[in-house]
Amino acid sequence: MELADLLASVRAALGRDLGASTPAPPASPAFAVPAPVTDRAALVDRFCERAAAVGVEIRRVAEAELDATLAALGASRAPLVDGAAAYDREVGLTDAAWAIAETGSVVVAAAPDAPRGLSAATLVHVAVVREADVVQTLAEALARGAEGGLPSALTVVTGPSKTADIEGIIVTGVHGPGRVVAVVVSPGAGATRAG
């Protein structure tokens, strides 16, 4: 039996008309693609909203408050002796190459002094996001990266690690950080805004 004949018999058994098309299900509002934003403040707000929706904790701070905020989170900028030392840390600290407003994702670029383990192998991942590095889409981030040369690896972090491998029960933090914090830094000396 030919594949087309098999599919026709299945459709007939299900009572479906071969000529009719099945309408696509309505898009979930949580995953709807938003209209582009051109205002920088609105773009940063959208990133913060989307990131919070996928489980990222948001801390909005002025540049002058960054060190104190990182210290309060237990994040250290102490240099790593080697890449394996990242796996000994409870809190991994990275600088985001970009933040994606559309999905609330943080993009981390691998480098010799910033191994991938800092965003993937620690219990907590703290990502420093500069407002100037928030872009609308992943495609825009990659286009910017292509201009200056992409690193050996990019990690796109969209919320804490989750899995539903066992009996479909969602468990957080099994294959990576169970807590992700984005520290969004504004260049000015404005007051801190809660996430």
Average of per-residue pLDDT across 35-46: 88
Residue 113 lies in a domain: yes
Residue 127's domain is classified under what CATH number?
3.40.50.10420
The rounded distance, in Å, linking the Cα atoms of 119 and 180 is 9
pLDDT above 90 coverage of the chain, percent:
48
Dump pLDDT digits (tens) for 84-137: 777 788 999 999 999 999 999 999 998 887 888 888 889 999 999 999 999 999
CA 1 to chain centre: 47
What range defines the domain where residue 42 resides?
35-194
| Number of domains the chain contains | 1
Residue 29 lies in a domain: no
Res 33: pLDDT: 62
Report residue 26's pLDDT band, with 50, 70 and 90 as the boundaries: low
The count of C-alpha atoms lying within 13 angstroms of the C-alpha of 44, restricted to the half-sphere facing its C-beta, is: 19
